[in-house]
Amino acid sequence: MLKIKLLLLLSVVCNLLYAQKRNVENIQKSVLKEYTYQELEKKFYETKPEDVKSKRDIAKYYLQKAKEEKDEVQIAEAYVMLHVDESLPNALKYLDSLQTITKNSKEIYYPARTYLLRGNLYFKSDNLQAALNNYVLGLKYAKEKGYKRQIAMAEISIAYLKNYIGKHAETAKTLRYYLYNADYMNESEHTILKLNLADAYIEINKMDSAYILIQDGLLAAKKSKNVYAYHQNLGLLGYYNLKLKKYNVAIENLQKCKNFFFTASYPSKRNQNYTLLNLGKAYAGLQESDKAIENFAKIDSMVLKTNYVFPELREVYTYLIDYYKEKKDKEKQLYYVERFLDIDKVLDTRFRYISRELPRRYDTPNLLQEKESITKELKQRKIFLYIVLGALLIVLLLFINFYFKYKNAEKKYRKIAQDLIQSVNENKKEPEVEIQKEEVVPDIVLPQNIENTEDKATKTISEDITQSILKELDAFENKEQFLNRGITLGTLAKKVKTNSKYLSEVINTHKGKNFAAYLNDLRIDYAISRLARDRRFRSYKIPFIAEELGYNNEQAFTLAFKKRTGTPLSIYLKEIEKTVSAANDNPEVL
């Protein structure tokens, strides 16, 4: 009877506990209902790694919410969250579900994302062959979509595998490139990148570069109060000092790391093993064999439990074998020889596979792509070179054409200038200037009913008035009053005691040109003669000469000179100087 009562009591307690658990779950669900997808995702990734249950509850609710709303994009995100911190078989199942639901996804990050996540899982579980295969596939699909971030992640992950097989220089090159050329990475990714680059630098003896990165990491971790990252950098500092044979300093750094990594709530096999490894080496460097053996033996026991195997284990077992051989402890010597052979077989298999497959599946395709890129670039350069050469040839031909045209024009201008100088030297009062014409215009036969201009003028102005105006114009020319500035048709008409209309008609009829041309021709003819004869006048600056001739500015004078003579003023002045110089050398020329 007592047993029955106890069973009933136990049943009631269990029911109460179950009901309480259900109530807690219901409360949690009701709370989670208030969050958006973005808030749930943020809450998931901000939850501490050791709080596995809370993370899992968030991920499960996320999946439930996404399925109820039939949102495939969010269902995919739920599978990504669910695979985190799961055992390898369960995590792979979630990623298989992710691959299925994103099979027809148009998102740029699929399917590469699934392969990269799977690669990370295998890498963490020490299955480097499967990790490499997935990284290579992830890289392939990332390149097809042109997604820079995923390309970077794939190449960085492959670089870590290169580091594993001893290609530290190649690893450093890749990591250095992405450290300074990948602004799309977040702070956490940059921190991991710096850690691994510092490690690669130490391996290739770039100690100063490694030290700078380690110090940056320590300062950043202190600032952000990231204890885990701080001890990761401290562990690297210990390795740095070990390489410099500063064994005591290295031990001080590494002992702190040992205390942290073996008590941390979220342990890391890698950090634990490498801390022990470097501590053992530091003690070995100080000839403290017993302490070195203590750390190395602990590594062996951890390998037995976790199956975490890494290349430096060969050094560990070699040291253990030699130590017990010296101690003449045959049993332990044999034990560690057997352990060494087992580990070496695994390492050899991995090394051979990675060493063979990396060049075949990653380096060779990259080299071929690089070759294609270089070939394409050289082809484009060649085309560009041809275009440039073609353009230069056209410019050269145009320049040659311009040069010969200029030379011909200069020859023509010089001939005109020489004729003008000769006419002045022959004491012609007003040199006849031949107007340059490009082509001969045939005589135009006017219709008979059109009156001659002169006859029209005669009918308009009497002969006496015409002669009077012509006489005044002769005086205007002889007294060189045309050199005065500001002369207009109106002012000249007043001067010759007539009106503007009569004066204009007489100039047009008897001088054969309009007033402006008449005034310009008088001034330019005067300039032609005076410049040839008056050395002092010729020595003046052009603006002063223009002012002397009645022009408002230099440009008006030079344009008028070219229009009247058919040669530029500069060439006329040069030819005068040549003539004068020749005359001085040979007086008989004049």
**For tokens 């000179």, what's the residue?**
561
Paired tokens of 590? 């004049």
Amino acid at 26: N
Report pLDDT for 435: 41
Name the stretches of the chain with pLDDT < 70.
1-31, 361-374, 427-460, 585-590
DSSP-H helix ranges across 426-534: 453-460, 463-478, 489-495, 500-506, 515-533
First to last CA, the chain: 159
Report pLDDT for 219: 95
Report pLDDT for 354: 73
Find all residues with CB under 8 Å of 527, minimum gap 6, and list them.
545, 549, 557, 561
Distance (Å, whole) CA 102 – CA 110? 7
Query: Does residue 111 have a cis peptide bond before it, meaning omega lies within 30 degrees of 0?
Result: yes
Over residues 87-142, the pLDDT tens digits come to 899 999 999 999 999 999 989 999 999 999 999 999 888 888 899 999 999 999 99
Over residues 434-488, the pLDDT tens digits come to 444 333 333 333 333 334 444 444 456 888 888 888 888 888 888 888 888 889 9
Phi then psi for residue 322, to 5 deg, are -65, -40
Report pLDDT for 183: 86
Report pLDDT for 11: 56
- Report pTM: 0.60
Report pLDDT for 13: 45
Paired tokens of 352? 């051979």
Report pLDDT for 366: 63
Helices (H) and strands (E) in the chain, counts: 27, 0
Find all residues with CB under 8 Å of 147, minimum gap 6, and list them.
108, 109, 112
Distance (Å, whole) CA 470 – CA 461? 12
